[in-house]
Amino acid sequence: MNVLTVTPNPSIDHTVELATLTRGEVHRALSGTVEAGGKGVNVARALARHDHRATAVLPSGGVDGDRLEVLLAPQRVDAVTVAITGTIRTNTTVVEADGTTTKLNEPGPRLSGPELDALLRVVTARLTVRPDWLVASGSLPPGAPSDLHARFVRAARAAGVRSAVDTSGPALAAAVDAGPDLVKPNQEELGELLGRELLTVGDVVAAARELRTRGVGEVLVSLGGGGALLVTGDGVWWGGGEPLVPLSTVGAGDCTLAGYLHTGAPAAQRLSTAMAWGRAAVLLPGSSVPGPTETLAAAPGVRVLPDPDPETLLKDLQR
């Protein structure tokens, strides 16, 4: 499979492990990891570890931009960079021994109009080779138009390429209106998009079906520790498993999306694979992505149920 990803606001992801985080205190870290980051970058890294062809389009500038490219080089990801005058951001994550995760995400560099145009031109050019999917994901850099991901979706449709979107806020709203083949919001992001709280499984299913009436092909909704719901034209499925104590949740949702794209199997199997990849990711440090050994080990712990009954499955998803 050949997947093209675009990450308008990539990062260097620095993850630090502590026994316990205490505000205002000096801490000695137990360990630390540094990875190339950004949602689309993570999707590409996960797919490349499973021998898929993965191309990651991203802006790159400054010393951290150079560092990001160096970090990607050994991971079999074809990194296609657009030079910018700003410096790529660094995101810091603190993971405590009980799995509690605290994230400090920088806003990222402001891309000029010509730099944003160049990013779209590179994506459009890469779509001419007809990858199986375009994945447009992550936050937008400061000042970028809210319809940037929507522009990528429209470019994919013009090229006859399926598109998947994983973002939030106004960027998600604009992308939904462009009619992508797949969106992957979490429960909170979906509720924000539709302007209401989603407290039950039934609420989430109804919201996902509403997106489908607006032109979205499939909706994969993360429920955090409650698993995930998949809504397609063929039905509704819930996927999950026994609770895990995560080593790090950074990038786990991106690995879930990569797992979903990994196989062309029927919907239930795609969801099962997605959950296995996501569960494998949370058991790895930092924003490490799982390989075949880890995802195969996680697969037996996954359950997938068709037509989940809100009364018996998860009575209340409110966190």
- Dihedral over Cα of 70, 256, 167, 287: its sign: negative
Q: How far apart are CA 303 and CA 165, in angstroms?
A: 25
Could you say which of 13, 166, 181, 254 is catalytic? 254
First to last CA, the chain: 37
Q: Is 64 a catalytic residue?
A: no
The residues facing 135 across adjacent strands are 5, 164
With beta carbons less than 8 A apart as the criterion, state whether 180 and 157 touch: no
pLDDT score of 1: 92
Q: Which of 270, 166, 219, 142 is nearest to 152 (CA)?
A: 166
pLDDT score of 249: 85
Q: Is 172 left (phi over 0), alpha (psi -120 to 50) or beta?
A: alpha
Q: Which residues contact residue 246 at a Cβ distance below 8 angstroms, ignoring those fewer than 6 apart?
A: 99, 101, 252, 282, 283
pLDDT score of 68: 92
Q: What's phi and psi for 259, nearest 5 deg? A: -65, -35
β-pairing, 218-222 vs 78-83, is unpaired
Pair of tokens at residue 257: 């999306």
Right CATH for 2-21+30-316 from 3.30.300.20, 3.90.180.10, 3.40.50.1220, 3.40.1190.20: 3.40.1190.20
Provide the residue-wise pLDDT of the chain in tens; the chain has 319 residues.
999 999 999 999 999 999 999 999 999 999 998 999 999 999 999 999 999 999 999 999 999 899 999 999 899 999 999 999 999 999 999 988 888 889 999 999 999 999 999 999 999 999 999 999 999 999 999 999 999 999 999 999 999 999 999 999 999 999 999 999 999 999 999 999 999 999 988 999 999 999 999 999 999 999 988 899 999 999 999 999 988 888 888 899 999 999 999 988 999 999 999 999 999 999 998 889 999 999 999 999 999 999 887 555 544 444 4
With beta carbons less than 8 A apart as the criterion, state whether 18 and 97 touch: yes
Global pTM? 0.94
Q: Which of 49, 263, 257, 278 is nearest to 166 (CA)?
A: 257
